[in-house]
Structure 1
């Protein structure tokens, strides 16, 4: 199960942020407006499991660079990607991070030791430790709700159906159909490919510009993708050293 977020119909209302906080009892972020933006959260973190980005762009005028162009807003409700190959899972030493029966990734806060390994492992910068608490927190895709057959709080609250929830195979088909319907050269799907650097995202997006414009990495890669090969090489090196030591001791026999 997962999310498909169609940014072309997001109106920036932040209903998803509010619903997420209310249902999951996530602490408030305060009213710290960031510069001249309406964005008061800024990024995903331990207290923002959904983040609605406001991106203001000046569209070039057809009359030349001297003529002011139009202004357009890009809105995107960002969230944990619930990666197929989740680096956070690979590095967690306590088993606090867990893949559920819905193929989503959640944090079991009661056994999180706050080591922060997952924070640096995440290629999207999603996971963060909560100040004053020390443990990591992030989107659970409303595990308690979907287990009872309900939709996640954010998808339920979204008035334009920008956030859609369901089986990933169905969402990918729906997203491709929506992309074709838009027929806009700048539109693209992000995170839908199962063969990408994280094995496909459990939360993917239809964007109206380059991923970097939205603060997303253009080619995310699981930071632990080479771990099996590294452990294999380390094991072979250890065996080689052990064999060399054994040979050296045997060579000293009278």
Structure 2
């Protein structure tokens, strides 16, 4: 699979069937040679990796809910979700990278070239989801590549391959969106009105995500921003303003210089 792909590819993560097994985390680390992130027991949850970062490209969140979970009054429950880089349509990390280390692939995914990254860190605050991070050992940025090497070889990403329940699904993005909408309708029909899609709308603040989710509660419960926006959306206007200010300043300097010359 070396030619340009005819479709945009992505992930659909259906959290309603995630069992929290962490097979995706393990497969991601093994295939991509992602270092051990410490596996620190935080004494707040069964979640031992905490969040996405340079050494955690797939993160399975365990969200324990007291009575009233998922609309069932008085019933304790769990929400589980395998989070990942969203591979945004309008990716601010691409806008701010000065070296070209970040690039968009032929599958319309966003990848960091570690050997080109200079560790400037501009991409870290640019990400509206807080996905990208730098490794303490050398300062370079890392995140999910959607297993770019596997895609080029005609294989699906390691996390999707390892998921035993098909909670993580990979394929052409338009097909995944159709499948996700059908799944939400099915859950609504089964009395789960809280089911909703997150990141599937091309009209949202980042132009839709290449990795989107079916959630069973508000995005904030999963640690996701409710209304993400591309953080560089105002850059063109800022550059125009800066250029205008520079021209105005140059004009003032020129007038002052000419005026001073006539005075002499």
TM range (shorter): over 0.9
Residue in structure 1 matched with residue 21 of structure 2 by the alignment = 13
- Select between 30-39 and 71-80 the one with higher mean Cα deviation: 30-39
Residue in structure 2 matched with residue 123 of structure 1 by the alignment = 128
- Structure 1 position 240 matched with structure 2 position 248: yes
Distance 2:252 2:36 in 1: 60
Size of the alignment, in residue pairs?
A: 248
Q: TM-score if structure 2 supplies the norm length?
A: 0.91
Distance 1:185 1:219 in 2: 21
SS at match of 1:173: helix
Distance 1:35 1:43 in 2: 15
Structure 2, unmatched stretches of 5+, are: 1-8
Q: Which runs of 4+ in 1 moved over 3 A?
A: none
- Structure 1 position 84 matched with structure 2 position 92: no
Instruction: Decide whether the 8 Å contact of 2:86 with 2:211 is kept in 1.
Output: yes
Q: 2:197 aligns with which of 155, 169, 189?
A: 189
- Structure 1 position 231 matched with structure 2 position 239: yes
- Select between 103-112 and 32-41 the one with higher mean Cα deviation: 32-41
Distance 1:12 1:142 in 2: 21
Residue in structure 2 matched with residue 198 of structure 1 by the alignment = 206
Instruction: State the shift of 1:131 in Å.
Output: 1.9
Distance 2:76 2:41 in 1: 20
- Structure 1 position 160 matched with structure 2 position 165: yes
Structure 1, unmatched stretches of 5+, are: 62-67
Distance 2:65 2:255 in 1: 69
Residue in structure 2 matched with residue 65 of structure 1 by the alignment = none
Instruction: State the shift of 1:240 in Å.
Output: 1.6
Q: TM-score if structure 1 supplies the norm length?
A: 0.94
Distance 1:131 1:242 in 2: 43
SS at match of 2:11: strand
Residue in structure 1 matched with residue 183 of structure 2 by the alignment = 178
Distance 2:39 2:55 in 1: 13
Instruction: Decide whether the 8 Å contact of 2:39 with 2:48 is kept in 1.
Output: yes
Instruction: Decide whether the 8 Å contact of 2:68 with 2:76 is kept in 1.
Output: no
Residue in structure 1 matched with residue 4 of structure 2 by the alignment = none
SS at match of 1:109: coil
TM-align CA RMSD: 1.4
Alpha-carbon displacement from aligned partner over 1:124-145 (angstroms, at most 9, x marks no partner): 1101111212111110000000
Residue in structure 2 matched with residue 216 of structure 1 by the alignment = 224
